Chains A and B, each alone.
Chain A
Amino acid sequence: MLSVPCPWCGPRDETEFKYGGQAHVAYPSDPAALSDAEWASYLFLRDNPKGWFAERWFHSAGCRRWFDVVRHTVTYEFAPGVTP
């Protein structure tokens, strides 16, 4: 059970959150201008690093805010004080 550091509520049990996948994947400003491959890349392709990873969480059973954290995919450690 991860203890997820919500920037609004403090550390809370993982069960209060929804995972939002990789952070900083912006919705394309003009999807129609993208090729099918580029659009598929936005839809389906995400990084899968072994190590630190910027990712999104949603405090769905708490303050209902989305936020970003940096978490280590091996140790599951949340980088302290990082506001990505």
Chain B
Amino acid sequence: MSQAFRRAAGGRIDRSRTLNFHFDGRAFEAHPGDTLSSALLAHGVRVVARGPYTGRPRGTYGIGAEEPNAFVQVDSGPGEPMVRATTLEVYDGLVARSLAGRGELSDEPDHSRYDKTWAHCDVLVVGAGPAGLAAAHAAAVTGARVILADERPEPGGELLAGRAHLDGRPAMDWVRDVHARLTGLPEVRVLTRTTVTGFYDGNFLVAVQRRTDHLGADAPAHVARQRLWHIRAARVVLATGAHERPILFPDNDRPGIMLAAAAAGYAWRYGVLPGRRAVVAGAHDGALWAAVDLFDAGVELAAVLDVRRLPEGQVHRALRDRGVAVSAGHGVVGTDADADGVLEAAWVAPVDGSPRRVPCDLVATSGGWNPAVHLYSQAGGRPLWSADHAAFVPGDPVPAVSCVGAAAGTFGLADALAEGAEAGWQAGAGTHGGGGEEPLPPATDSVADAGAPAACWLTSDLRPDTVFVDLQRDATLHDVRRAVGAGMTSSEHVKRYTTAGTAADQGRTTGVTTVGVLAGLLGLPVGAVGTTTYRPPYTPISFGLLAGRDRGRLLDPERRTPMHERHEAADAVFENVGQWKRPWYYPRPGEDLDRAVERECRAAREGVAMMDVSTLGKISLSGPDVGEFLDRIYTNRFSTLKVGQCRYGVMCLADGMVFDDGVTARIAPDRWHLTTTTGNAAAVLDWLEEWLQTEWPSLRVSATSVTDQWAAVAVVGPGSREVLRRLAPSLDVSAPAFPFLSVRDATVAGIPARVFRISFTGELSYEINVPAWHGLALWDALLAQGITPYGTETMHVLRAEKGFIVAGQDTDGTVTPHDAGLGWAVSTAKHFIGSRSLARADTARADRKRLVGLLPADPSVVLAEGAQLVVDADAPTPVPMLGHVTSSYRSAALGRSFALALVAGGLTLRGETLYAVDAGRAQPVVVTEPVFYDPEGARRDG
């Protein structure tokens, strides 16, 4: 298909090369520099999308990030749903298709690489149009570290259209010179194809850099597709330009209706005629200048309309020189379409006059410019309505942020350049102290305004259901009227009620127009209604980029014990405990979880078994005041502990609720070894340091995490003493010499070790700690003894059979030590953190939820953890709930299922039947003591 609408010359495209692409199944050609929109317009393709609800054909409407219509599905490369055709750079082999509303997510994995980077700078300049380039240059001259980011493939902004002159030369020559100068400076980084999408607290900005999307199959494999920039900037200059807004009228959505400056932009930036015969309709001088540009590009001007009535100005003379008269006080009041739904005529009328039909294939409409205040607004600024600008412009300044150029409502080129240079200089000098001389902005021809812009939102409200206030959402004037009729007065409410402004374009072209329409309906000033809130991201960011490389196995750090490879070799099934990978169970061929756990439990109760407990949190405490400190931290007393002894301790938060528990040993008079639950290791260290630093700095205690420095194996079962005797021949393992709750330094299997005689199972057991790099050797030495390894599931069964709680599983931040059956570990003779709370009447209430055991009436039923406990399963709702199941397992030793639970009233309900309700099923259970196995504790000493 020929590029019938391509001009003979001009535009920032490389006509020496041809790219081939497909759109909606048809083959087309383009040139490097083309976007999908410009390439399709070059072929005269007008329909690129359909209204999601109306199905009406839609065409390219804008020329950049503001585009509401031309969203396409890209099927080539990694594929992407909902890409703006106006910013989609054509590459050889591009395959895209039109959309009606939503795109389709691929169900194939995205193999693209995305990465992230962090940067700091003195001055971040957002936008490389004339004001941004001037700002970046002026800032760079001071020696400041500058980042200049722009979403387009090359700097220049509005100058890319190529018609402006600076210092008597084409403006793009100046752009090229400044760009070259900037890229040559060591402290300046110019990021093109980079959209700053969010402005967060502390001048922290996030930007998306598209690095290879425009290269298609030529993309180098070593370059990540996109990069997410996190930029901390001392100063930010926002030169984000402005978005053109339309004037609304009935049937304002037909392909062939475009924003006026966008239409002129296609003609001059891409060398593409957006139409051959145009009606230009505007409310400000810019629309008229767009008409000049279209005329000079070869577009016939069927009519040029201005809702204003002005004395003749510079732009009128320019049009008169071209034989074009401006119809003052006129607007478009409707359009006609051909059989395909494409524009074929505009209805043109004076205000309150009768319309005439003007055949045309382009209506170029422009109601004015909305400064792109998005980032300013995200930074905490509040845009204010300016009647002079007929637009919302930045209001009060935000510290360390300046808005320049069109983003500040400064639309004249000379003024924008001067403003940018001044802001850049101030920002650079403010952060870097200055140096060099402030560069003069380039000279530009002065253009006198013919008149101020008019705040004109719509030129006809006949057939309001065809006056589209949001093209991408198919939301209409009728919808806005309905919202007002329903009593809404806030632009935020109207946005949500009508969905206008909620689509992927976020209402960039018509958001302010909708506010203007709403103000008119409410009879309020536009400024009194105000815009909706601008939130990040400015343009959509893919989840793939946000994830970056933090996906799959790299999603979260994986902590492995020194013995991990042996667990893998034993075909262990792992579970995640925080970031740790812990063996869950070790199935032998043919075994499922239940059978493996039953075998592992029997080994621990009847022979000898072992568990890798290296993940246990370990904190080394040293200093003369550790004993006193632990007396304050733990509910029970530790200062009386003798060297070589250890003790179980419970710690509470100040509110008296159980926080953590574990065993702490006194290694030397001033050295202690404290253990925490696996998941709480970091939190406990934070807790200890907080008290040491903020409340009790006079205590001479230092705390250091040694979790990773020690590997540890629990050797469990009646056979464990014999194993230790063999592996540590110099250690007297007899019960009198090495009693329960003591710790010994010894050589085990030739390895220097610290052995604790403690038990989390009720069986005789030892926890052998060795320096982490010996962990594997210790494990191997124990394996060579024929010991059965067991995992966390068996550990849970064994400890629950003994009624031992796991803090965080059987407690939940509302459970006191007494509630958890640990009252024996609470000293009444000393103060500790939480003791005051435990003295409250509430913590002594008889109906507090307390730890009990449960035996299901059906011994084969394993209750669901979390199941609610009720007295009467058939009671009418709301059913009073007494508590819930906290731990539930099948026990090999008991030959049946059992559970732990927190129940209001606790053991006063002993022997009573409750019901555990889960997923609509009620299981009868009998309340028992929480210790199911060896309640006398006879097995502890082997």
Contacts and interface: CB of A to CB of B under 8 A. Distances in A.
A58 B197 CA distance: 30
B691 to A, nearest CB: 8
B836 A39 contact: yes
B689 A76 contact: no
A37 to B, nearest CB: 11
A1 B695 CA distance: 29
B78 interface: no
Interface size range of chain A in the complex? 20 to 34
Contact of A3 (B232, B686, B695, B841): B232
Given A1-B204, A2-B202, A65-B693, A31 B686 contact: no
A31 B201 contact: no
B837 A39 contact: yes
A75 B693 contact: no
Interface string B683-702: 00010011001110000000
B201 A1 contact: yes
A76 B655 contact: no
Contact of B837 (A20, A43, A60, A75): A43
Contacts of A27: 654, 695
Contact of B693 (A2, A13, A26, A66): A66
A46 interface: no
Interface string A19-31: 0100000111001
Centre residue among B202, B693, B695 by max chain A CB count within 10 A:
B202
B831 interface: yes
Nearest to B655: A43
Interface in B813-860: 831, 835-837, 839-841
A31 B835 contact: yes
A55 to B, nearest CB: 12
If over half of B's interface residues share one DSSP class (helix, strand or loop), that class is named, otherwise mixed; here it is: mixed
B686 A18 contact: yes
A3 B690 contact: no
Interface string B670-710: 00000000000000001001100111000000000000000
A15 to B, nearest CB: 11
B433 interface: no
B53 interface: no
Given A1-B200, A1-B202, A3-B204, A32 B690 contact: no
A34 B695 CA distance: 18
B778 to A, nearest CB: 31
Contacts of B399: 75, 77
Interface in B380-421: 380, 399
B839 A43 contact: no
Given A32-B831, A43-B655, A75-B380, A64 B232 contact: no
A36 interface: yes
A31 B830 CA distance: 12
Interface in A1-21: 1-3, 13-14, 18, 20
Contacts of B380: 75
B14 to A, nearest CB: 41
Interface string B298-324: 000000000000000000000000000
10 contacts: A2-B202, A13-B204, A14-B202, A27-B695, A28-B836, A32-B831, A43-B654, A56-B694, A76-B201, A77-B399
Interface of B: 200-204, 230, 232, 380, 399, 654-655, 686, 689-690, 693-695, 831, 835-837, 839-841
